Amino acid sequence: MDTLQSASDDRALLQSEWQFQDASPQGMMLNTLSNELSDGDVSEIISYLPEIEGLEVLELGAGIGRFTTHLAQKARHVTAVDFVDKFIKKNQKSNSCLDNIDYVVDDVMNLKMSPNSADLIFTNWFFMYLDNESTRCLLAKLLYWLSLNGHVFLRESCVHGSGNISLRKATTYYREPNDYEALFNSVTVPTEDKQAVYGFNVIASRPVEIYRKVMNNSNQITWLLQKVRRDASSTLEH
């Protein structure tokens, strides 16, 4: 119970810290170099996604919609979730011409979604604010929410921070890339027939080139994961 309360307190503190950030690319990226980074960053990240034409997309930590617009222009439908109301309002205003987006103000850790309801789950700088236990908990939820062979895309700051604006009181976990992959491999959930498990395969991983070029930083890392069915005994090998 103490661990659950501590995680809840951490999320409340993180939410309060984000409330003070501007609803702008600089506020989202926590970086005064956002003018040099933002457009190229968005284009590069979008280029790493699988084909999403006609798919159901769940965007976690959607913010002001830096990526929401691009997702919604191709996907059948996007559910954009963020726990800061002013960010969602900015997102909704920016995308008022698109009618295939639902906006949800909620903490992702409390979010309820139907099983197999998303074909792609997109996150950007999200897991770096979760401890290992919370990360495993959310990864398990993603496996339930994803359709079979659906994908999760995530980008995280590894090793050290990449911005020059800080969240003063919130805890950030700058993991090694290998630590993330160990977490991905550690999570499975039972299949509906209880005869096997669902888990993640890492399909691709790469650094974000624009951060390498502009900030000499090779530790912005992206992953593309796929939900797969596997024999339960195979998880013992990880």
How much is the average pLDDT of 100-118? 97
What is the overall mean pLDDT for the chain? 94
The pLDDT value given to residue 170? 84
pTM, two decimal places: 0.94
Domain ranges of the chain: 53-237
Tokens of 225: 């994961």
Q: How confident is the model at residue 8 (pLDDT cuts 50, 70, 90)?
A: confident
Chain CA centroid to CA 159, Å:
18
Ramachandran assignment for 51, one of left (phi > 0), alpha (psi -120 to 50 degrees), beta (any other): beta
CATH code at 53-237: 3.40.50.150
H or E stretch covering 9: helix 2-19
Query: Pairing between strand 118-123 and 146-157?
Result: parallel
Three-state SS at 37? helix
Residue 236: pLDDT above 60? Answer: no
Is the model's pLDDT at 237 over the cut of 60? no
Classify residue 158 by burial, with Cβ atoms within 10 Å: 0-12, 13-18, 19+: buried
DSSP bridge partners of 224: 153, 204
Burial class (CB in 10 A: 0-12, 13-18, 19+), 91: buried
Q: Does the pLDDT of residue 234 top 90, yes or no?
A: no
Residues 31-50: tens digit of each pLDDT: 999 999 999 999 999 999 99
Question: 238 pLDDT band (50/70/90 cuts)?
Answer: very low
DSSP 45-82: HHHTSPP-TT-EEEEES-TT-TTHHHHHHHSSEEEEEE
The pLDDT > 70 percentage for the chain reads 95
DSSP character string of 109-154: GG----TT-EEEEEESS-GGGS-HHHHHHHHHHHHHHEEEEEEEEE
Element housing 186 (H / E) = helix 177-186
Measured CA to CA, the distance from residue 15 to residue 19 in angstroms comes to 6
Segment 172-209, tens digit of pLDDT: 999 999 999 999 999 999 999 999 999 999 999 999 99
DSSP state of 102: E
> pLDDT value at position 166?
85
pLDDT of 158 reads 98
Contact present, 121 and 50 (Cβ < 8 Å): no
Nearest to 11 by CA among 3, 165, 63: 3
Mean pLDDT (whole number) for 74-99: 98
Mean pLDDT within 137-145: 98
pLDDT over 70 (residue 235): no
